[in-house]
Amino acid sequence: MVEIIGLVLAGGLSRRMGGGDKSLNQLGGQSILSRIIDLAKPQVSELLLNANGDPDRFEEYGLPVVPDVIEGYAGPLAGVLTGLEWLSQNRPQCKWLATFPSDAPFMPTDLISRLWDAMDKEGAQLACAITNGRTHPVVGLWPVALKEELRKAMVEEEMRKIDLWTARYKLVEVDFSCDPVDPFFNANRPEDFGKAEELLALLEGKN
């Protein structure tokens, strides 16, 4: 597999969580962000964190923190563009970006390899994950070659929805099993954490 650099998307306002950094909430005695780093890091050659505001609050995680290159909290698509442009400027030899959500602590350990293999097999330009017929557009692979087109779409067209942008290209959606849990269950609201603890106990019971 070619070199792929990963980016955890934590640049949002977490409105449904009441503000703050939802990725820093605890799950099973460990922050969600810490769990995501443990899952994502072995799958990529390097891992970055997309976050706005004071980067020092993430200092303990030891990741480069890159803020949105589009102002105004423009959503995860701005995070994707940020990652693509950062790679172009700082790691020009790397042509692929993988993005991970910051609120999905149960992601598969073979996520990136499966996305890559499917994209390669289908001759697709982009790849994302899907479970139970639901697409997870922030769980994806992106070519640095599309960075200018994405910037143009965001600035000139005010594009904000990932699926509207990916619809312009050949996208492969890779189906992941939900047995025993949906690997992309995300903890967006305070009430989701009780469910997340239940799912964690279920997973730990299976191991």
Looking at residue 16, its pLDDT comes to 37
In whole angstroms, what is the distance from residue 184 CA to residue 166 CA?
19
User: What values do phi and psi take at 194, rounded to 5?
Assistant: -65, -45
The two three-digit tokens of residue 109, written as one number = 């350990």
**Is pLDDT above 60 for 2?**
yes
Give 99-140 pLDDT, tens digit per residue. 999 999 999 999 999 999 999 999 999 999 999 999 999 999
Work out whether strand 96-101 and strand 65-66 pair parallel, antiparallel, or are unpaired: unpaired
Q: What is the pLDDT of residue 199?
A: 77
- Sequence-ordered alpha helix ranges (H) in the chain: 32-40, 76-90, 111-122, 147-156, 162-166, 192-206
In single-letter form, the type of residue at position 85 comes to E
Q: For 177-187, write each residue's pLDDT tens digit.
A: 999 999 999 87
Q: Number of C-alpha atoms within 13 angstroms, CB side, residue 6?
A: 23
What's the gap between Cα 32 and its chain centre? 13
Q: How confident is the model at residue 201 (pLDDT cuts 50, 70, 90)?
A: confident
pLDDT at residue 186, rounded to an integer: 87
The angle subtended at Cα 67 by Cα 25 and Cα 191, nearest 5°, is 25
Mean per-residue pLDDT of the chain: 91
Query: Residues 152-165: pLDDT tens digits?
Result: 999 999 999 999 99
What pLDDT does 61 receive? Answer: 96
Provide the token pair at 185: 């269950």
Residue in this structure with the two tokens 């929805």, named with its chain if needed: 161
Residue 13 scores a pLDDT above 70: no
pLDDT digits (tens, 9 = 90+) for 27-84: 888 999 999 999 999 999 999 999 999 999 999 999 999 999 999 989 999 999 999 9
Residue 175 vs residues 111, 129, 136, 143, 192: alpha-carbon distances, Å: 10, 6, 10, 21, 23
Would you kindly state where each structural domain of the chain is located, as residue ranges? 5-206
The pLDDT value given to residue 12: 63
pLDDT of residue 136: 96
CATH classification (class only), 5-206? alpha beta
* Confidence (pLDDT) at 206: 59
